[in-house]
Amino acid sequence: MRENIHPKYFQTTAHCACGATYKIGSTKENIRIDICSKCHPLFTGTEKLLDTAGRVEKFKKKYELAAEREKVKKETSAQIRAEKEKEAKEKEELSVMAKIEELRKGPTKAGKHAAPKTEAAKLKEALVSHKPAAHKPAAKKAAPKKKPK
């Protein structure tokens, strides 16, 4: 047998939850067990309840916490999305308001804002700028030439 490759082997005592002790050989020094041949239902013929309900409760609690964390994660992402949409709407409203203010001020002259024009001034300007083409009489069409036969 090769040396220094095997774990140490101990003569130890195994302690059961029912109070029984056993002398055994093991690679561990102290052993504690939940059930042994003196208290196991197969050997005793009696029923012993183990803390299985605690295991089930632990399992449920674990997955309830995971579901709760997932729910909180979804809520926070929805809140962040709503805040971003709100900010985008506010920016859009501000840009629309700026455009409206710019239109209210009217066209600028030499870097200064001109006073807004009245309806009458706008109509007068439109009439002056629109000059119809001079009326020319239509040219007479020449009679078509007849082709000799």
Please report, rounded to a whole number, the percentage of residues in the chain having pLDDT higher than 70.
71
Q: Does domain 1-50 have CATH number 4.10.80.400?
A: yes
Please report, rounded to a whole number, the percentage of residues in the chain having pLDDT higher than 90.
17
Query: Residue 11's pLDDT is what?
Result: 93
What gap in Å lies between CA 31 and CA 133, rounded to an integer? 114
44-73 average pLDDT score:
80
Per domain, the residue ranges of the chain are 1-50, 51-106
What gap in Å lies between CA 73 and CA 83, rounded to an integer? 15
Average pLDDT in the chain: 78
Q: What is the pLDDT of residues 107-124, one digit of tens each?
A: 655 445 555 667 777 776
pLDDT band at 129 (very low <50, low <70, confident <90, very high): low
Task: Give residue for tokens 């774990």.
Answer: 7
Q: Is 0.85 surpassed by the pTM of this model?
A: no
Query: Residue 130's pLDDT is what?
Result: 57
pLDDT band at 85 (very low <50, low <70, confident <90, very high): very high
Task: Give residue for tokens 């001020």.
Answer: 105
Q: Which two tokens stand for residue 41?
A: 């239902």
pLDDT band at 43 (very low <50, low <70, confident <90, very high): confident
